[in-house]
Structure 1
Amino acid sequence: MTIGKAVVVAALILAPLTAQAQTRITPEAFLNAVQGKTVMFHDYPTGELVGTEEFLSPTLSVWRMVGRGCVYGQITTPNGQICFLYDDDADGIPVCWWPFLHEDRLMVRLATFANTEIQEVRSITEDGLNCPSTQIG
């Protein structure tokens, strides 16, 4: 594929995302809003619950998907993204997201051109996940 074709393909992939009014926010602003809290993430636009994440610190979280156990993750913030490297990631590659606001709703978009998955934050609570504790490193 030539560079010109690659740019056109990238533009077509991103077109639905840029057509909507979005305001990117920094990973630090996102983490400040959720630190010490538990967040429920829902698929956008279906509304299905994807999972719940408790943000234990700016660098550590615990994730629980529907019907599965708890997994701890190390959080990093490279290049305006929030990245999670979970204990069960066999490949050792973090999953990264771009946080943004859309119509006053807090959302995240998977930071890859191969997948345009978007999740909406539907609730932020003080309730913990009651997961087994881990050493905070």
Structure 2
Amino acid sequence: MTTGKILLRTALGAILWPVMAPAQTLIAPEAFLDAVVGKTITFHEIRSGLLVGTEEFLSPTHSVWRMEGRGCVYGQITTPNGQICFLYDDAPDGLPVCWWPFLHNDRLMVRLAQFVGSETQEVRSISDDSLNCPSAPIG
């Protein structure tokens, strides 16, 4: 287990609650954010293992996302209904993308909060490194 994962598990340990599957533990979005603000996280698609992208959590309400071969996209973070939602500057429909963060067999995951076409991603690394994106206003 990497140092980043140990740090995240320690920070979240007291704030977890169980869900129906015994090997899964849902994480409150606020607890997730408390643990990742100031960190940069890589997300990989669970089935293929391919890198989906990297997110730097600038504050509890703002992040910057970068996919391989693409530029930086800034997002506003909200936490409605136990979800963590990101409204990115380039969202064509103006709607946020929402996730449920959870632990599964000691692996940090996020699951797209929709019933059709849902996707699960695994956090593979957590670091203090910046994405070195141009500055964005943080409110």
**TM surpasses 0.5:** yes
Find the counterpart in structure 1 of residue 63 from structure 2: 61
1:3-31 per-residue CA deviation (whole Å, 9 max, x = no partner) reads xxxxxxxxxxxxxxx76721111001111
Gaps of 5+ in 1: 1-17
Q: How does 1:1-137 map to 2 (within 5 A)?
A: 21-137=23-139
RMSD: 1.2
Aligned pair count reads 120
Secondary structure (helix, strand or coil) at the match of 1:68 reads: coil
Counterpart code for 1:46: S
How far apart, CA to CA, are the structure 2 residues paired with 1:85 and 1:119?
Answer: 18
- Indicate how the Cα distance of structure 1 residues 45 and 19 shifts in structure 2: closer, same or farther if over 3 A, else same: farther
Gaps of 5+ in 2: 1-19
Q: Percent identity?
A: 76
1:63-110 per-residue CA deviation (whole Å, 9 max, x = no partner) reads 001111000000000000000000001211000000000011110000
Find the counterpart in structure 2 of residue 5 from structure 1: none
How far apart, CA to CA, are the structure 1 residues paired with 2:96 and 2:85?
Answer: 6
Over alpha carbons, which structure has the higher Rg? 1
Per-residue deviation at 1:45?
2.3
Give TM-score, length-normalised by structure 2: 0.83
Once superposed, which parts of structure 1, at least 4 consecutive aligned residues long, lie more than 4 Å away? none
- Indicate how the Cα distance of structure 1 residues 20 and 67 shifts in structure 2: closer, same or farther if over 3 A, else same: farther
Give TM-score, length-normalised by structure 1: 0.84
